[in-house]
Chain A
């Protein structure tokens, strides 16, 4: 198991290194420079700027410096926000995104599991079909449509929640709901299938024939085992939340990292784009790593395969 985990860890580091390199060289390939009006600044000023940001070195030297700084957790300075470290900007904006993401995950997991379990237990009933329909629509309706509808109904018509911007818990409700809808749909579908699988398994029949009461059977035997496959979507979910946050933060004007990220692309703020890209990638890769390890812990077949190598 330790060997398997270590192997996963090495992959994680390798992938991050590849992403860092790809990002760096793609940024160097970009047409145009970071200066808004390069023809208006004098050569001396430009040289001073280049020296400050390390742009006067040859590209291989820049690359080595970039990787060196990266290893020390230094992502450089933003081009557009004078004298601000990229890490500071991430530290300022990420908590806002994370808060919404966290609320969405809580909301999505609780309702997703609940819906999935009830649907599986009442298979073929009206409740089951309602859950299937909600889950299918939840996957098919784009987040910007849902966001716009929620904004219109609760913010503009009913006026019970703020339409946009940031400040209190009430401000986070609509973005979290929008982001969480996808989580609910995904988890409900998966949990339903997984529960149905477990419910028809032999060990459940054994539990029943032992005379255990229904509550114990469902709680101790069915739900626990049905949760195993659900763990595996952690990485997919992380990516979906990152993608969703770009849209949701735009619609609800949340001062989060996603919105910053999109803005850096407009403004050619290379260091910030690179920094946030790496941050997102690290987040995603770490979630893959966690999934792999969790799966290895849960599934004995993978444990065996890991040992063999």
Chain B
């Protein structure tokens, strides 16, 4: 240390400092969504799931159109056939093509699940934002209502509704909405409560922004990550619920060819023609698996704590 002389050190001038450029931000600046997408792309399991979900949706739309069979076309000469080149997934006891029926089932099951989940989202977000943002007595009353609703077991309510309204696609959707929106509302309210006292919201209000602008510009976009994650988890749950209710015999009924109906019909033939049960079950399992893994991946991608 002692052989370091004073003249080896020189003060840095302002000009030199500017030239050094040490304060420049090197990494390109990413928006929240760009960052989330970048992190999601690094998650292989989530990306595989994303493509699986897209593939399932595309197949549900196009497979029944592109096949030479229709889902309800009976042909008694080809009953209960094993999978072959003619019928990729075999045929059922009326000689209907299972490949087309599985994708027709995907249409119905996905339609029910997604419609119910989207309606949950709409109601839940509106309810949650109002309760969380307005606060005070309004919040108190709104949360007491939710607290009572949460206590009602959703399966029971759904079964009662089906008994009263009769089984059908819309009854199923309505039942799922009635029991589902509560969770979304709680989630959004919690998020809004966290956000509304943060500096950027305060800044926006100080600058004279109206409540509506604060809600739509600041609160909802910032809660969107969690809302999307919840949506991806709700859809497979709804698919499950439809399948389970139909399986035990109180959900949808033929000639509707939802996945639940296919599984229900297949289960009766399981010992003789296991593929009639196996393929629809596989479709349900793959779909729910893909949505679940995608949901987990999205949760990680949106989580600022995991940001690198």
Contacts and interface: CB of A to CB of B under 8 A. Distances in A.
Interface of A: 11-12, 14-16, 18-19, 22-23, 26-27, 29-31, 136-137, 139-145, 148, 152, 156, 239, 242-243, 246-247, 250, 262, 265-266, 273, 277, 280-281, 284-285, 288
A142 B284 contact: yes
Interface in B177-217: none
B138 interface: no
B236 A265 contact: no
Contacts of A14: 148
Contact of B285 (A15, A29, A145, A156): A145
A265 B250 contact: yes
A30 B166 CA distance: 9
A23 B159 CA distance: 11
Among A145, A266, A285, A288, the most chain B Cβ lie within 10 Å of the Cβ of A145
Given A280-B156, A281-B152, A143 B244 contact: yes
Nearest to A239: B153
B148 A140 contact: no
Contacts of B304: none
A-B pairs, 9 with minimum CB distance: A15-B151, A140-B289, A140-B288, A145-B281, A284-B153, A26-B160, A285-B151, A141-B285, A15-B148
Contact of A262 (B147, B150, B250, B296): B250
Contacts of A136: 289, 292-293, 296
Given A136-B289, A140-B236, A239-B153, A250 B271 contact: no
A152 B270 contact: yes
Contacts of A11: 147-148, 151
A156 B156 contact: no
7 contacts: A11-B151, A137-B285, A148-B267, A156-B271, A243-B155, A250-B248, A277-B156
Contacts of B271: 156
B111 interface: no
B147 A144 contact: no
A273 B162 CA distance: 13
Given A141-B289, A142-B284, 16 more contacts: A15-B147, A15-B152, A16-B151, A18-B148, A18-B151, A19-B151, A30-B163, A31-B166, A136-B292, A136-B296, A140-B292, A142-B281, A145-B263, A148-B281, A246-B244, A280-B153
Nearest to A238: B153
Interface of B: 147-148, 150-157, 159-161, 163-164, 166, 236, 240, 243-244, 247-250, 263, 267, 270-271, 274, 277, 281, 284-285, 288-289, 292-293, 296
Contacts of B164: 26, 29-31
Contacts of A273: 163
B143 to A, nearest CB: 11
Nearest to A19: B152
A262 to B, nearest CB: 5
A243 B153 CA distance: 10
A174 to B, nearest CB: 15
Given A140-B236, A140-B292, A152-B270, A265 B156 contact: no
A242 B277 contact: no
Contacts of A242: 153, 155
Contact of A145 (B160, B163, B248, B284): B284
B284 A262 contact: no
Among B151, B247, B274, B293, the most chain A Cβ lie within 10 Å of the Cβ of B151
Contacts of A142: 240, 243-244, 247, 263, 281, 284-285, 288
B155 A239 contact: yes
Contacts of A243: 155, 244
B279 to A, nearest CB: 11
A64 B116 CA distance: 36
Contacts of B156: 19, 277, 280-281
A182 to B, nearest CB: 11
Among A23, A29, A140, A246, the most chain B Cβ lie within 10 Å of the Cβ of A140
A297 B243 CA distance: 38
A250 B251 CA distance: 14
Among B157, B159, B248, B274, the most chain A Cβ lie within 10 Å of the Cβ of B248
Contacts of A250: 247-249
A152 B272 CA distance: 12
Given A11-B148, A265-B250, A266-B249, A140 B285 contact: yes
Among B153, B236, B243, B293, the most chain A Cβ lie within 10 Å of the Cβ of B153
Contacts of B250: 262, 265-266
B263 to A, nearest CB: 7
A136 B294 CA distance: 11
A136 B48 CA distance: 15
A12 B166 CA distance: 30
Given A23-B160, A30-B163, A273-B163, A144 B267 contact: yes
Given A30-B164, A140-B236, A281 B153 contact: yes
A143 B289 CA distance: 14
Among A29, A142, A242, the most chain B Cβ lie within 10 Å of the Cβ of A142
A107 B244 CA distance: 23
Contact of A139 (B150, B163, B284, B292): B292
A15 to B, nearest CB: 3
Contacts of B244: 142-144, 243, 246-247
Contacts of B153: 239, 242, 280-281, 284
